[in-house]
Amino acid sequence: MIAARGNALPKSVAESTCQGFPQDWLCLPIRDMVEGIVRIFLELHSFRESTTMKVPSVPTRGRTLDHAAFVHDLTDPLLLMGKRADYDRLILQLLELRDSDRVLDLGCGTGMLTRMIADRLSVKAGGYAMGIDAAGRMIRLARRSRGGERCRFEPAAAEELPFRDESFDAVVSSLFFHHVQLDLKLKAFQEAFRVLRPGGRLVVADMHVPTTWMGSLVSHTARWFFLQPAISENIRGVLPEIMVEAGFPPPVHVCTLFGYVALFKTEKPLMAA
């Protein structure tokens, strides 16, 4: 028998939480695209001038995005239809952060979400956000652009986390699991389960079963354009069952954004009998 804090999210909360998100690409604001392009050119210029020591990538069978580190902050707003800030705020809402929380961000990229989490935590209370990514260039950019006392970044593979058991209050992942194949998905969720304290929260936002024609077009095009079979696994809807296989209670499917990105929330059981 498993006892856990209630992980159900009221329907009214889920509906109100997800309002205001476009369901197709026709809603993408041009302003956000231009701002993204400006940011990436400024980032590239400052990165070339940086004397920060290189960070080695971590071996993994999953797909890493070292080659995309420079353009990561541009492509994310495009994939999220200019709603990146709102999307991140929704994830923050689901995390239900407390000042003292220790939060792990799996596949953090350049650390945009990690930094937003860290800004809501208190060093004095013991809180901090830790972002991990197997791509060394991502970690290098994240450390230089967004690192700090309460916002830390380490190169690591999600399927082999270098942290002690029950060392985090929450684990979050945004658009990471479609980059790794089925067995690594399971290992990563098992590792998330291991490092979470009992009652700790897991929030996952990733590609899932498309709900609109545009979402289906984007998902299937990405699968074949990037030659990434792991995307097909997400499209089939495997994430919830893998979370359960890793030890979590069945996750709440909060909503689907943009017609293809689903948000899930669950918690590590308080005890097992």
pLDDT category at 220 given cuts 50, 70, 90 is: confident
Whichever domain contains 201, its CATH number is 3.40.50.150
Question: How do residues 162-183 score in pLDDT, each as one tens digit?
Answer: 999 999 999 999 999 998 999 9
Question: How do residues 63-79 score in pLDDT, each as one tens digit?
Answer: 555 454 454 555 565 56
Number of structural domains, the chain? 1
Beta carbons within 8 Å of 81's beta carbon, 6+ residues apart = 21, 22, 25, 27, 28, 258
Q: For residue 263, list its beta bridge partners.
A: 205, 255
CA 229 to the chain's CA centroid: 19
Average pLDDT, the chain: 80
Question: How do residues 102-160 score in pLDDT, each as one tens digit?
Answer: 999 999 988 989 999 999 999 999 999 999 999 888 898 889 888 988 999 999 999 99
Range of the domain at 176: 2-272
Question: Of all helices (H) and strands (E), which one includes residue 77?
Answer: helix 72-79
